[in-house]
Amino acid sequence: MSSAPPSDPTTTNGPRHPLVPPPPAKYTGRIPNTPLFASLIAFLLGAVFALGLVAFSAGATGFARPWWATYQLGFFFAAWAAFHWGEYAVTAGWNLEKCSVDSFLLENGSTYHIAHGTAVAEYVLTLYFRPAWKAHPYISLVGIVLVILGQALRSGAMIHASTNFSHAVAFRKRDSHVLVTDGVYAWLRHPSYAGFFYWALGTQLVLQNPVSFMAYAAVMWRFFYYRTRAEERALVSFFGEEYERYRKRVGTMIPFVP
């Protein structure tokens, strides 16, 4: 008796399970899209978060620590790890069909990683040579609040939009694609973008980095300005006058992004 060959889970009908690697033609990321790497990345992000939280707690309470292990730097690394883990977790929980290792957003391009590296370098060098410039706790407190609110706004927007959310701009309308205008979307037109914008600026307030703060603001404004223009052209083609009315009624809450 002959038996049929096992079916290929990447070619069967229906949505692909996110833990099954897609065909190479559909996945171009450098990180293998496998359960092993998903769990490894989550573990490493958890470790960074834990170490950051320890540094934050020790610095905030005055425990003995290395000069560079401040509560500010600890919070920055904890917030960074929580952001990337949260992107994957929210996608896996509310947008399963689009979930992959890419959902961690660790391959955001060299500019993204250079920006974070520059911010850390600015903080550490300034802390070493001019520690008094980092001794303004109220600025860091404002940054902590902004990071938490920005993270909550972004994650909440992704959860509320559910399968209508995509990390990449969609230029083809799916049958299940609907225009979301309620919940947080009734107050902000692109809440996930606004959330990340203020999250990122908050991290630089926490670190009290004036140079990186201005650079972040300029780079992110330019990115979101052109990204929203491209995305909204697609949304107008998808939903026509319905989206035009929504756009006139609800703003982005990102400065100078109409």
Closest CA to 75 of 118, 123, 22, 109: 123
Is 19 a member of any domain?
A: no
Give the mean model confidence (pLDDT) for residues 64-81.
94
Is 238 a member of any domain?
A: yes
19/91: higher pLDDT: 91
What's the CA gap between 157 and 101, in Å, rounded? 20
Is 11 a member of any domain?
A: no
Domain that holds residue 192: 33-249
| Residue 88 tokens, joined | 């994957």
12/193: higher pLDDT: 193
Domain count for the chain: 1
User: Looking at residue 126, which CATH number applies to its domain?
Assistant: 1.20.120
The confidence score (pLDDT) of residue 21 equals: 54
| Residue 45 tokens, joined | 């992000």
The confidence score (pLDDT) of residue 26 equals: 57
